[in-house]
Amino acid sequence: MIETRALTKSFGLRPVLRGLDLEVAAGECVALFGPNGAGKTTLLRILATLSKPTSGLVRVAGFTLPAQAEAARRRLSLLAHQPLLYGDLTAEENLTFYSRLYNLRDGAAQRLALLERVGLAARRRDLVRTFSRGMWQRLALARALLSHPEVLLMDEPYTGLDPAGAALLDDVLAEVKARGCAVLLTMHDIAHGLALADRALILTHGKITFTAQRGQVTAAQFAEHYDAATRQ
């Protein structure tokens, strides 16, 4: 569902991604670790069709980017650092707006079901600007799930979530994986990422420098590889 080959991205003379190779299969969750500036967000933006690669092959849901970006967008969803919500609309109105924007046929009952799933049904008629940071994140998750994506890209989605919110997100990711969605997310919590993901990757200096399958290494061992990779 996600494939890159020799992917590069430069901003002027500054290279960010340097020949990156990556695959994520349907129903697989991959956690991406790396220091700030390693290229994690840049990679997600390219996969989400928000930025064009400098060179290399990029495919999402079988479509080649950037040539087939429009078709790919119908099958992917991005949960970015910015929640992309409107504070002067209610939670329900935000989902209605995005549902119409994406020309989705899901009705009010399904939008309410999503709000219930993220624990916001009781606040559905409240203005989003009155929400806490964690509630914004929960609503942004509901927005990302509106289109039933085949590929879900998430940039540090646990930021701002309390333990209950983090457990909710864990459950939602298990559900979307079970229906065949490919998930790629960036994280900083190594122990959580190793328990959550099928594979954990380290991105440093624009390349994948270490890969571990679930259960292959302990959190301490992964942290040692992370420290070694970031020191190079």
**Each residue's pLDDT tens digit, 200-218:** 999 999 999 999 999 999 9
Reported as half-sphere exposure (CB side, CA atoms, 13 A), residue 145 has a value of 22
Structure confidence by residue, pLDDT tens digits, 112-128: 999 999 999 999 999 99
Q: Give me the amino acid identity at 13.
A: L
Whether residue 77 has pLDDT greater than 80: yes
Give me the residues paired with residue 18 across strands: 8
Which tens digits make up the pLDDT trace of 149-158? 999 999 999 9
Higher pLDDT, 220 or 107: 220
Strands 207-213 and 76-79: what pairing?
unpaired
Identify the residue with better confidence: 144 or 82. Answer: 144
Residue 68 reports pLDDT greater than 80: yes
Name which of 177, 172, 184, 148 is nearest 60 in CA terms.
184
Quick: pLDDT tens for 18-62: 999 999 999 999 999 999 989 999 999 999 999 999 999 999 999
Where are any strands of DSSP class E within the chain? 2-11, 14-24, 29-33, 55-60, 63-64, 76-79, 151-155, 182-186, 199-204, 207-213
Q: What are the tens digits of pLDDT across the range 147-182?
A: 999 999 999 999 989 999 999 999 999 999 999 999
Angle between helices 133-145 and 163-178 (to 10 degrees): 10
